[in-house]
Amino acid sequence: MAFVALYDANVLYPGSLRDLLVRLGQSRLFQAKWTDQILDEAFSAIIRDQPELTDKLGRTRELMNNAIADAQVTGYEPL
């Protein structure tokens, strides 16, 4: 079984690193994981620094979640 890597907002902020990490997650060398809260934090920082990307980030989220079907972690809040 592959180990789990939780992607935090700081590594999802730069587009080139986000792209690389999603591609690595697709390779199944490890299990890439993130939460909606992590994506919200990363995308909020992107919007703060590059407001012209606001309209594109919804699509980015959709593409990320479709790229790695089991990456999104839910139900962790009570823990």
pLDDT band at 28 (very low <50, low <70, confident <90, very high): very high
pLDDT at 55 over 90: yes
Q: Residue 53 has what DSSP assignment?
A: G
**pLDDT interval class at 42 (50, 70, 90):** very high
Written in H, E and C, the secondary structure of the chain is CCCEEECCHHHHCCHHHHHHHHHHHHCCCCEEEECHHHHHHHHHHHHHHCHHHHHHHHHHHHHHHHHCCCCECCCCCCC
pTM of the shown model: 0.91
For residue 55, the surrounding DSSP H or E stretch is helix 54-67
Statement: residue 2 has pLDDT above 90: no
* pLDDT per position as a tens digit, 5-19: 999 999 999 999 999
